[in-house]
Amino acid sequence: MRRLNEIQAALADEQLDGWLLYDFKGLNPIALSVAGVPEGRFLTRRWACFIPARGAPRWLVHGIEAGGMRDLAPEAATYVSWRSWTEGLRTLAGDAQRIAMEVSPGCAIPYISRVDAGTVELVRSLGLEVVTSADLVQVAEAVWTPEQLASHRRAAATLIGIMGETFEHVRGRLAADERVTECGVQDYMMRLFADRGLETDHPPIVAVNAHGADPHFAPQRDADTELHWGDYLLIDMWGREIGPENIMGDITWVAFAGREVPRRGQEIFDLVKAARDRAVAFARERLQAGQTVYGYEVDDACRDVIRAAGLADYFFHRTGHSIGTVGHGNGVNIDNLETQDRRRLLPGVGFSVEPGIYLAHEGFGVRLEIDCYVNGNDVEVTTLPLQDAWVLLG
């Protein structure tokens, strides 16, 4: 089981009697991951695993699947009927009274809301108080090991290098009066990914002009857009070293195909940069003072900068997301817009900070994305150097 000692310490800190993991046919990937159920394991019935604050985890599986779970749960209790499932859950919990499950009041954090309402209703009918496992999930899945932190730092450095090489590639083609397109740049970057040993679940976002005002834009080969002198270019890419336990890096930079950025472009860049830097400074100030800081508060600190400039309506996504072995992990998000993320920034978690202002009606957008890691009582920016000025391609 993943990080049992750390989980049980967190249960004690939160004054919980245990954590009830539950799944049916893959509806709760968090339970599968924490319990260590191998990917592709053939399970067609409900199962549960109770992690007590002290002692060994206890399992409840269907009688027809006990043999297939013997490697994970050699002493699992079994059930067959719906009545014995209910009785088995009560026995599994023992004398526990207050337990955690993958619930989120009001579905405030959809990443955590994985157990169906009926099952929660059943567990509560057994006399158990059910609370959210949100911060337990962080401990089990979102806190990086030293090896994972090292893999992230290497991936981040590689991504920064690829970004620089890509801009040089574009600059050279423009200077030689050669065609530059979104898909062409994307293809060039994917070759660099392969050469540098990075893997990704999606090619980079390469967005020219107004396409940069669409945060999840994807270049289309049947409508490939060309970059010309005087155009804006936004590139967002993410990747990790090859291997399922390695941690992603995720960065966004912007460039201008010319020697001097238009005044409006510079104003928006400076504002996004100020918002980015304010988010990091706020989190650092709170942590260095020994205070708890929550994801929604960091979002507010960042968003307030853009709101004060009267452009809040053009920053229409959260400030940042959890980073893990996948681009959007199950840890704390920097969010008080799409959701109100009241999870703590725990030591050892990573997240992005990526404010953006998207002015489709003006023909461009600016996003500046960096990665951060909670290093003890401080925030470390892992994707250095920061972009502090437009990249000029002229």
Backbone φ and ψ for 155, nearest 5 degrees, come out as -65, -40
Q: Provide the 8-state DSSP code for 319.
A: S
Q: For residues 60-83, give the mean pLDDT.
A: 95
**CA-to-CA separations, 136 to 141, 155, 235, 248, 347, in angstroms, rounded:** 8, 27, 34, 21, 13
Asked if 54 and 8 count as a contact pair (C-beta separation under 8 A), the reply is: yes
Whole-number pLDDT of residue 213: 98
Q: In this structure, are residues 185 and 206 in contact, taking their beta carbons and an 8 Å threshold?
A: yes
SS3 for 181? strand
Mean pLDDT of 102-126: 95
Burial of 179 (0-12, 13-18, 19+ CB in 10 A): exposed
Examine the pLDDT at 61 and tell me if it is beyond 90: yes
- The CATH class given to the 143-392 domain equals alpha beta
**pLDDT range class, residue 126, cuts 50, 70, 90:** very high
188-236 pLDDT tens trace? 999 999 999 999 999 999 999 999 999 999 999 999 999 999 999 999 9
Tell me the per-residue pLDDT of 249-279, one tens digit each, with 9 for 90 and over.
Answer: 999 999 999 999 999 999 999 999 999 999 9
* 194 SS3 class: helix
Q: State which H helix or E strand residue 193 sits in.
A: helix 182-196
Band the pLDDT of 328: cuts 50, 70, 90. confident
Measuring CA to CA, how many Å separate 167 from each of 8, 164, 330?
Answer: 48, 5, 32
The pLDDT value given to residue 233: 98
Question: How many angstroms separate the CA atoms of 255 and 392, rounded?
Answer: 6
Which CATH number applies to 4-141: 3.30.70.2080, 3.10.180.10, 3.40.350.10, 3.50.50.60? 3.40.350.10
Handedness of CA 152, 153, 158, 162 (dihedral sign): positive
Name the residue with higher pLDDT: 117 or 42: 117
**Residue 327: per-residue pLDDT:** 80
Q: What's the confidence (pLDDT) of residue 39?
A: 86
Domain ranges of the chain: 4-141, 143-392
Please state, rounded to an integer, the average pLDDT across all residues of the chain.
Answer: 96
Q: Where are the beta strands (DSSP E) in the chain?
A: 18-23, 47-52, 58-62, 77-79, 98-101, 129-132, 198-199, 205-208, 232-241, 249-256, 322-323, 350-353, 356-359, 364-367, 370-374, 379-381, 391-392
If you write DSSP's letter for every residue of 261-296 in order, what string do you get? --HHHHHHHHHHHHHHHHHHHHHHHHHHTT---BHH
Per-residue pLDDT, 352: 98
Query: Residue 326: is its pLDDT beyond 90?
Result: no
Predicted local confidence at residue 2, as pLDDT: 77
Strands 98-101 and 129-132: parallel
146-186 pLDDT, tens digit per residue, is 999 999 999 999 999 999 999 999 999 999 999 999 999 99
Q: For residue 93, which of 66, 138, 114, 124 has the smallest C-alpha distance?
A: 124
Using CA atoms, how far apart are residues 311 and 318, in angstroms rounded to an integer?
15
- pLDDT over 80 at 74, yes or no: yes
- Distance, CA of 150 to CA of 158 (rounded, Å): 12
- Give percent above pLDDT 70 in the chain: 100
